[in-house]
Amino acid sequence: MIDHPDRPYRPRRLRATPAMRRLVSETRLHPADLVLPMFVREGAAEPVPISSMPGVVQHSTDSLRRAIAGAAEAGIGGVMLFGVPEHKDAIGSGATDPDGILNVATRIAVAEAGDALVVQTDLCLDEFTDHGHCGVLDARGYVDNDATNLRYRDMAIAQAEAGSQLLGLSGMMDGQVAEVRSALDGAGFTNTPILGYAAKYASAFYGPFREAVQSSLEGDRRTYQLDPANRREGLREIDLDVAEGADVVMVKPAMSYLDVLADAAASSPVPVWAYQVSGEYAMIEAAAAHGWIDRRRAVEESVLGIRRAGADAVLTYWAVELAGWIR
């Protein structure tokens, strides 16, 4: 920077008018870069509110259909579906059942969405297991990595058969991307892409999600999700997922992990997405409800910050509302 005593550089010149600020803006939000996570509850006749996520519901199949139409209308890039089953068991049978709620919801969403947006599915067992873990347990109650991957292989085929257009592998088992890739290819689904939740941290910010999916988890996921202290290990997970064949990788949560996100964005050869999770949503909603922050500005700034740090797309519960503001 030129340091001239008589004519100091004045950065404020480029901030003086809205038109100038718009012209020099480095980062823009666009509806196509937003993905809406959605919950679908088996047996629900009406949408069921989620108290810790004001404005977010567990959908019935009918309200799902309407919400997909609304999401398409808003021009967002995609939706990520989560199922809330009526019955759970030790191996999460509902996940691989073609008539399981997530697979049913996927068929409905794909039929409604047409080519307007990308219908994605959460590929993980935690919504379907009675113990609430992301995998199956061994005799000592430890999450069995390789036995879980066998379940993920079957789950991947069930989801691909239901029409899912991007499988979101969120279970954090070692080798899960390679296993699912080989299962898909073996079943002829060579064109079904994989989103690897590569750097997924064991986070307190998933709190409200546990209500959203009526999780039965006791304890935590620290034997498989990343330690929030570890940046280098997050990048290692990104590299592994890319090497195993992930088409897109994810950093999750978003706002407390922007360093990992920026590093991943700088080095990844595939798109890097970030998931602004339930607790991040709940914090802003709660503060706004108290009148402590300006809700719209806080929402926009939070997602903008995630994009600025390097996310190519953002999963956010505000996707549709935010798209409306952008347009």
Q: Which residues are catalytic?
A: 200, 252
Closest to 100 measured CA to CA, from 56, 144, 153, 61 = 61
Does residue 126 belong to the site contacting ligand PBG (CB under 6 A)?
yes
Taking CA atoms, 291 is separated from 200, 264, 277, 286, in Å, by 32, 35, 22, 9
- Out of 277, 282, 309, 314, the only residue in the binding site for ligand PBG (CB under 6 A) is 277
CB of 195 to ligand PBG, least distance (A): 11
Binding mask 200-229 for ligand PBG (x = CB under 6 A): ------x--x-----------x--------
Binding mask 76-105 for ligand PBG (x = CB under 6 A): ------------------------------
Q: What proportions of the chain, in percent to the nearest 5, are helix, strand and coil?
A: 45, 15, 40
* Contact indicator for 126, 85 with CB cutoff of 8 Å: no
Q: Which residues pair with 160 in a beta bridge?
A: none
Half-sphere CA count of 263, side-chain side, radius 13 A: 16
Number of Cβ within 10 Å of residue 55's Cβ equals 11
Separate counts of helices (H) and strands (E) for the chain: 11, 10
Does residue 170 belong to the site contacting ligand PBG (CB under 6 A)?
yes
- Out of 278, 282, 307, 309, the only residue in the binding site for ligand PBG (CB under 6 A) is 278
* Contact indicator for 217, 141 with CB cutoff of 8 Å: no
CB of 3 to ligand PBG, least distance (A): 47
CB of 171 to ligand PBG, least distance (A): 7
Closest to 128 measured CA to CA, from 157, 152, 107 = 152
CB of 12 to ligand PBG, least distance (A): 39
In the complex with ligand PBG, which residue's Cβ is closer, 74 or 134?
A: 134
Does residue 152 belong to the site contacting ligand PBG (CB under 6 A)?
no
- Which residue in the block uniquely carries the two structure tokens 């503060």? 287
Number of Cβ within 10 Å of residue 262's Cβ equals 16
Does residue 155 belong to the site contacting ligand PBG (CB under 6 A)?
no
Name the segment binding ligand PBG (CB under 6 A); options: 24-32, 120-128, 183-191, 235-243.
Answer: 120-128
Does residue 144 belong to the site contacting ligand PBG (CB under 6 A)?
no
Name the segment binding ligand PBG (CB under 6 A); options: 4-12, 122-130, 263-271, 290-298.
Answer: 122-130
- Which residue in the block uniquely carries the two structure tokens 């806080």? 298
Contacts to ligand PBG by CB under 6 A: 122, 124, 126, 134, 170, 206, 209, 221, 277-278
